[in-house]
Amino acid sequence: MDESLTEILAIDDAGLARAAAILQNGGLVAFPTETVYGLGADATSGAAVARVFEAKRRPAFNPLIVHLRDLSHARRLVRFDPVSERLAESFWPGALTLVLPKLGGADIDPLATAGLDSIAVRVPDHPVALRLLAKTGRPIAAPSANPSGKVSPTTAGHVAAGLSGRIDAILDGGHCAIGLESTIVAPGPVLLRPGGLTVEEMEARIGARLSVRDDPDMPNAPGQIASHYSPGVPLRLNASCRRSGEVLVGFGPVTNADLSLSPSGNLVEAAANLFRCLQALDTRGRAAAVSPIPETGLGRAINDRLRRAAAPLT
């Protein structure tokens, strides 16, 4: 595919109609969500889903998140237990992905779920994503719209930098408000991946604790390999100062920081800036040191991504 073949679509009626037509014909469209940009394909078509892996150059067929218009569509595909139902009712549309048992007859291509008997489902909280889902009338399988092993894109420009010429179109919806991927929860409830929705918010709503399964090698979320978020330069975490040759990424009132996740020490702002910051480090090509981030609320997901980004490339 030639680079010029990736259409950049505006988020107006014509752009959305074009994006929906591409998806319905088995093509690939990157689209904005409130978390990060997704690389969408018709989840009922194995050929379309296969193109996602090809475009991302994914080394393995990891299961993908299936994006849906609403809870009632999800109910036709997966079986909800009471706690998962309560989470969905409370936080959808939103940055929550639920991994639930697949119902017999659910029309989702097995490649989208990597042959598992569960499906990861999510209703995104973004008007463009929701309009696209409504227009196609299909479940859309969408991993983050980055080449495998690179950080997730939070702008259409990031998507184009990584995937231009490899996908059919990009819907340009500006910056993603949250900037971190969704939180993934399985029945239990078990936290499979910390993300944009905090554990504290979920626990408050269900009146129970989530257990954590966050082993980097765990088989349940194979996309969670340690080096998945590498910016391509060495990262030193919990750093109190810059060593020679390093770029210093601050959080809060840090003097001499070259970049900052949030000058005021705000975790929401830091989450929204995280992947942009990792992209910037990749561009600079120098080792980096990152200030400590508190392990509470969104800080848990930010630290998770930073630890993965700091893991040596395998």
The region of 11-19, 34-42, 132-140, 255-263 touching ligand TXA under the rule CB under 6 A is 34-42
Query: Using CB distances below 5 to 8 A depending on partner kind, what does residue 109 bind out of Mg ion, ligand TXA, none?
Result: none
Residues 103-132 that bind ligand TXA (CB under 6 A): 113, 116, 118-120, 122, 124
Exposed, middle or buried: residue 291 (CB in 10 Å: 0-12, 13-18, 19+)? buried
Q: Taking the complex as a whole, how short is the minimal distance between the CB of residue 303 and ligand TXA, in angstroms?
A: 17
Q: Taking the complex as a whole, how short is the minimal distance between the CB of residue 233 and ligand TXA, in angstroms?
A: 21
CA distance 109 to 106: 9
| Lookup: tokens for 147 | 């080449």
CA-to-CA dists, residue 2 to 6, 27, 34, 49, 166, angstroms:
8, 15, 29, 20, 8
10 phi and psi angles, rounded to 5 deg: -80, 160
DSSP reduced 3-state for 269: helix
- Cβ atoms within 10 A of the Cβ of 204, count? 10
97 binds ligand TXA, rule: CB under 6 A: yes
Residues 139-198 that bind ligand TXA (CB under 6 A): 142-144, 181-182, 184, 192-193
CA distance 49 to 85: 27
Beta-bridge partners for 122: 67
Q: What is the pairing mode between strands 140-141 and 65-67?
A: antiparallel
Q: Taking the complex as a whole, how short is the minimal distance between the CB of residue 292 and ligand TXA, in angstroms?
A: 25
Among 33, 144, 154, 164, binds Mg ion (CB under 5 A): 144
Query: Using CB distances below 5 to 8 A depending on partner kind, what does residue 230 bind out of Mg ion, ligand TXA, none?
Result: none
Query: Using CB distances below 5 to 8 A depending on partner kind, what does residue 90 bind out of ligand TXA, Mg ion, none?
Result: none
- From the list 94, 313, 81, 93, the residue with the least C-alpha distance to 195 is 94
Planar angle of CA 212, 215, 217, nearest 5 degrees:
150
- From the list 161, 151, 155, 162, the residue with the least C-alpha distance to 279 is 151
182 binds Mg ion, rule: CB under 5 A: no
DSSP 222: G
CA distance 6 to 28: 10
Between 39 and 289, CB nearer to Mg ion: 39
Query: Using CB distances below 5 to 8 A depending on partner kind, what does residue 163 bind out of ligand TXA, Mg ion, none?
Result: none
Q: Taking the complex as a whole, how short is the minimal distance between the CB of residue 18 and Mg ion, in angstroms?
A: 25
Between 105 and 219, CB nearer to ligand TXA: 219
Annotate each residue in 251-290 with x if it binds ligand TXA (CB under 6 A) or - if it does not, as one string: ----------------------------------------
97 binds Mg ion, rule: CB under 5 A: no
**Which positions lie near ligand TXA, rule CB under 6 A?**
33, 35-36, 38, 62-65, 97, 99, 113, 116, 118-120, 122, 124, 142-144, 181-182, 184, 192-193, 220-224
Residues that bind Mg ion (CB under 5 A): 144
